[in-house]
Amino acid sequence: MNRHDIQKGLRLANLDQPVSARSSPRGSAYLETDGDAASAAEIRRSASAKTWGQLPEIAVAGAVGLLVVAVADTGARAGAPWASLAFWIGLLLQFGPVAGRLASARPSRSERIGLVGLLGLQLYLIKVLHSPLAFTLHDEFSHWRTANDIARSGHLFSENPLLPVSPVYPGLENVTSALTSLSGLSIFAAGIILIALARVLLAVALYLFYEDASGSARIAGLATLFYMANPSFLFFDAQFSYESLALPLAAFALVAVSRSQRGARKTSLGLVGVILLALGATITTHHVTGLFLSLFLVVWTATAAYVNRGKVNGASPGWTALASLAMVLAWTNTVGSALFGYLAPILEQGPQALLKLALGMGSLRRPFSDYAGQSLAWPERVVGYLSVVLILVGLAVGLRWVWRRYRDNALALALAATALPYPLSLALRMTDQGAEASSRTSEFLFLGIAFVLAVAAEEYWLSRSWNRRRAAWFVGWATVVFTGGVVLGAAPWARLPGPYLVAADSRSVDQQSVGVAEWTLRHLGPNNRFAADRTNGMLVGSYGEQRLVTALVDHVGVWPPFFTPTFDALDEMTIQRGRIHFLVIDRRLSTGLPRVGVYVEIGEVDTYHHRTPINPAALSKFDGMPRVSRLLDSGDIAIYDVEALAHAP
């Protein structure tokens, strides 16, 4: 293929042309490097681009990895001590071969895209293998409730006491509604299919976006690989939750915007329409993703202004940033109170706690341990620390190279700017309140971090003469970054299924608690006012379709009846103010400390600092109380009718 062919192809294939030679650091010569093709015209003419290379072999290795993870899950359910090791082996069988192959210069663009799509899907399947028969992750119940409300009523914006903000960002549930009503599939089955497709879309769209930013297929592949190392990727963004759909939609929007920045041709009305549709869908699906997308477009506009200084007709995503901000403001104004009530505490408490810590007034969070005091095994702690160090080193190296190679590339500079707050997000992790805010930023910051790390890998490491030793070092580096993300993103007890644990989200959902929740709907009907601990509350509020009383919605802390050893005035006031009709009491709460830091809700006594389990007397005090019926007994869980107390004189 000669340069004439490429240029001819570029004119033909407007949508797939790489970043222009002006903004590309190496111009078209960069395209001619084996494995760095980015032009559709080039692809169409290149025989090698039509091959899948080693994708099938790597798919088999990944499938073996999934098989090992499935065995690990099954072993973990029976408490097998080898399950954790098997999980890691299975995980690395998926990640390692893909990392090694993407680092090589040999794969075609098709193979690279196939590899990132494959890895994205296989990592998603790890979450599905963890819970193959029903949703078990915490946020999934909130969104199940919203989807179920839409299925029952046929309309949006029903009240959801589990997550009040969910019904006003119903993008996920809209698609689920279309799937369930037309196919007859359950919400669970439709959700699994939808998130699987969204996951592949995310991986491939990110690849195209990074390819636009770098003009390099290898950097695009590596950046997408590093994005998957963010702590939220394996479980949090694989659950049936609004962010899991919003991120792929945002990536899709970014690809559309980056394509509109290409070439001298004016953006067509059709592409403008695609961009507006994608922005609208993202912003109405998830609040933080919509906000991040808008902020990123603003940063991109700013870097474009810097790159275009002195130029009259330089490309800029300015109008998309304005449109995005306008949509965010319009939608936030429509749903305002629900959003601010939900987000404000998260956004405020982290920086406040960090400030207190800086002033010597706060306490340091114990790193790499859960709220029940269980620390990670030392190898995991080492990998966790090492991954942070390697990311910081990679950022230091990569930012320098971004500046050297891409200082005239507005998109690359915007991505680099997005990586800059990473150290601050690490600082937030030092406090209990900040850890939540920090963990919610990783999937956004990694958009930039992944790009900078990929540039560092390419420029500092891989562009030099390639040999096995160099490849092994790279795979080792990438694997530590990836495993560190897994370590930071999910506690050991959350990675695998297993026996019941106290206040441990997916590990607290079992046959008994699900059975009790279903009983409430079958025999009491929906929308009775319930108070319950964190896990049983999610279940009676979703599968039970009950009206859970919460501090967030009702401004009543419902925790006292679960903590006071004898029934006292505080309990009575709580029941009366919350107009609580039924109480779900799970006696197992007294058998351990809460893994997630709270038994009932944030704001309860000793939130994040429980030192002793709940007094068993607190959980049995309703037995034998006059006028308090104990309507159901399942062994560990009992349902009490306390309405008589709510109406006591």
Shortest Å distance, C-beta 9 to other proteins: 9
Cβ distance 581 to 646 under 8 Å? yes
Q: What are the Cα distances from residue 617, in Å, to 187, 269, 290?
A: 39, 68, 47
**Which member of 81, 310, 360, 635 binds other proteins (CB under 8 A)?**
635
CB nearer to other proteins: give 159 or 348. 159
Sequence-separated (6 or more) residues with CB below 8 Å from residue 135: 141, 144, 188, 191, 239, 240
**Which member of 98, 179, 297, 589 binds other proteins (CB under 8 A)?**
179
* Per-residue tokens: 637: 């869980």
Of 13-21, 293-301, 403-411, 480-488, the window that binds other proteins (rule: CB under 8 A) is 13-21
CB nearer to other proteins: give 54 or 431. 54
Work out whether 182 is an interface residue with other proteins (CB under 8 A): yes
Q: What are the Cα distances from residue 254, in Å, to 13, 215, 226, 296?
A: 19, 16, 18, 9
CB nearer to other proteins: give 310 or 624. 624
Shortest Å distance, C-beta 38 to other proteins: 10
Work out whether 106 is an interface residue with other proteins (CB under 8 A): no
Coil, helix or strand for 638? Answer: strand
Sequence-separated (6 or more) residues with CB below 8 Å from residue 286: 169, 171, 242, 243, 245, 246, 247
Q: Which helix (H) or strand (E) holds 559?
A: none
Phi, psi of 369 (to 5 degrees): -145, 150
* Per-residue tokens: 362: 């706060």
Shortest Å distance, C-beta 512 to other proteins: 5
Shortest Å distance, C-beta 436 to other proteins: 27
Work out whether 310 is an interface residue with other proteins (CB under 8 A): no
Q: Between 138-153 and 187-214, two packed helices, what is the crossing angle to 10 degrees?
A: 110
CB nearer to other proteins: give 360 or 624. 624
Of 151-159, 414-422, 453-461, 466-474, the window that binds other proteins (rule: CB under 8 A) is 151-159
CB nearer to other proteins: give 187 or 397. 187
CB nearer to other proteins: give 397 or 516. 516
**Which member of 131, 146, 320, 483 binds other proteins (CB under 8 A)?**
131
Of 169-177, 220-228, 483-491, 501-509, the window that binds other proteins (rule: CB under 8 A) is 169-177
Cα–Cα distance, 545 to 529 (Å, whole number):
10
Cβ distance 600 to 534 under 8 Å? yes
Cβ distance 304 to 317 under 8 Å? yes
**Per-residue mark of binding to other proteins, 221-260 (x: CB under 8 A):** ------------------------x--xx--x--xx----
Shortest Å distance, C-beta 107 to other proteins: 12
Shortest Å distance, C-beta 34 to other proteins: 17
Work out whether 549 is an interface residue with other proteins (CB under 8 A): no
Shortest Å distance, C-beta 470 to other proteins: 27
Of 228-236, 407-415, 534-542, 622-630, the window that binds other proteins (rule: CB under 8 A) is 622-630
Shortest Å distance, C-beta 91 to other proteins: 13
Sequence-separated (6 or more) residues with CB below 8 Å from residue 205: 248, 251, 252, 254, 255
Q: What are the Cα distances from residue 38, in Å, to 13, 30, 85, 304, 584?
A: 11, 9, 39, 22, 58
Cα–Cα distance, 517 to 548 (Å, whole number):
12
Task: Count the site residues for other proteins by CB under 8 A.
Answer: 112
Cβ distance 445 to 227 under 8 Å? no
Work out whether 626 is an interface residue with other proteins (CB under 8 A): yes
Work out whether 402 is an interface residue with other proteins (CB under 8 A): no
- Residue 545 C-beta-side C-alpha neighbours within 13 Å: 17
- The residue type at 423: P
CB nearer to other proteins: give 25 or 107. 107
**Per-residue mark of binding to other proteins, 263-282 (x: CB under 8 A):** -----xxxx-xx--xx-xx-
CB nearer to other proteins: give 16 or 436. 16
Phi, psi of 304 (to 5 degrees): -65, -40
Range 518-547, binding other proteins (CB under 8 A): 519, 523-524
* Segments in 286-407 forming alpha helices (H): 287-307, 318-358, 378-406
Shortest Å distance, C-beta 194 to other proteins: 8
Cβ distance 537 to 561 under 8 Å? no
Range 571-590, binding other proteins (CB under 8 A): 581
Range 439-498, binding other proteins (CB under 8 A): 497
Shortest Å distance, C-beta 387 to other proteins: 27
Range 502-521, binding other proteins (CB under 8 A): 510-512, 515-516, 519
Shortest Å distance, C-beta 334 to other proteins: 11
CB nearer to other proteins: give 413 or 645. 645
Work out the number of other CB atoms within 10 angstroms of the CB of residue 465. 6
Of 226-234, 379-387, 443-451, 632-640, the window that binds other proteins (rule: CB under 8 A) is 632-640
CB nearer to other proteins: give 32 or 408. 32
Instruction: Provide the Cα torsion 542, 543, 545, 550; round to 10°.
Output: -40
Range 358-377, binding other proteins (CB under 8 A): none
Shortest Å distance, C-beta 462 to other proteins: 23
Of 204-212, 219-227, 342-350, 550-558, the window that binds other proteins (rule: CB under 8 A) is 204-212
Range 183-202, binding other proteins (CB under 8 A): 183-185, 193-194, 197-198, 200-201
Q: What are the Cα distances from residue 613, in Å, to 307, 417, 428, 604, 609?
A: 59, 45, 27, 13, 11
**Which member of 102, 137, 165, 205 binds other proteins (CB under 8 A)?**
205
CB nearer to other proteins: give 280 or 448. 280
Cα–Cα distance, 375 to 387 (Å, whole number):
18
Sequence-separated (6 or more) residues with CB below 8 Å from residue 42: 1, 5, 6, 9, 31, 49
**What is the sign of the dihedral through the CA atoms of 469, 471, 473 and 479?**
negative
Shortest Å distance, C-beta 561 to other proteins: 16
Closest CA to 237 of 151, 319, 126, 152: 126
* Nearest-5° Cα angle at 239, 233 to 242: 95
Cβ distance 221 to 112 under 8 Å? yes
Work out whether 330 is an interface residue with other proteins (CB under 8 A): no
CB nearer to other proteins: give 4 or 464. 4
Cβ distance 542 to 141 under 8 Å? yes
Range 33-92, binding other proteins (CB under 8 A): 40-41, 43-44, 49-52, 55-57, 59-60, 62-64, 66-67, 69-71, 73-74, 77
Work out whether 348 is an interface residue with other proteins (CB under 8 A): no
